[in-house]
Amino acid sequence: MGSGWLQLLTGVFRGSKGGGEPAQGNAIASGSGLRGDHYDMTLRRKAFEYLHKILGLAALLLAVVAISLGLMLADAPRWMAVVLTMWWCILLFLTLRWQRAGRCIDTYQAIWGPDAVHPGNGIPPIGIGISRYSRESWQGRTEDAMRRKQ
């Protein structure tokens, strides 16, 4: 119940999005777009980002603990714990692999793109293993991906 209230509370502290539509990036950068906590990456938004990521990781860890305790208390067959442990190890392996490959892209860039005109692209990404790209390096990555598909 407490986590439900916490969800509502963090939604209030999340702040405004601002920035208009991603396709309007040049108009936004020229000052004609809407300002907002997320687009401008205000202190309020940065604090929310850190809190959101810390609480999200804590929720995942607590879920593992709760599931493990539930298996023990229900005296579940051992194969269930083995299968779940293997599943969690696979997920952890894929997460680390994709992060190292640069596939964990900063949410800010995913929304507004890699242009330096966007204020949030001037700060380091918030979180561990998160990649941020320049316009040139992003175009190189997408061109390489298109060649591999052909």
Looking at the 3D structure of the chain, how many domains does it have?
Answer: 1
pLDDT of residue 22: 53
Q: Which parts of the chain have pLDDT scores under 70?
A: 20-33, 142
Report pLDDT digits (tens) over 21-50: 555 445 555 555 678 888 999 999 999 999
Q: Quick check: is 5 in a domain?
A: no
Residue 105 domain-assigned (yes or no): yes
Q: Is residue 30 part of a domain?
A: yes
Q: What angle do CA 130, 7, 34 make, to 5 degrees?
A: 65
Asked whether residue 123 is domain-assigned, the answer is yes
Q: Is 28 exposed, middle or buried (0-12, 13-18, 19+ CB in 10 A)?
A: buried
| Run of H or E residues at 44 | helix 43-73
Residue span of the structural domain in which 96 resides: 16-149
Q: What is the pLDDT of residue 5?
A: 86
Residue 6 included in any domain: no
Would residue 4 count as lying in a domain? no
Q: Residue 66 has which token pair?
A: 């709760």
pLDDT at 30: 52
2 inside domain: no
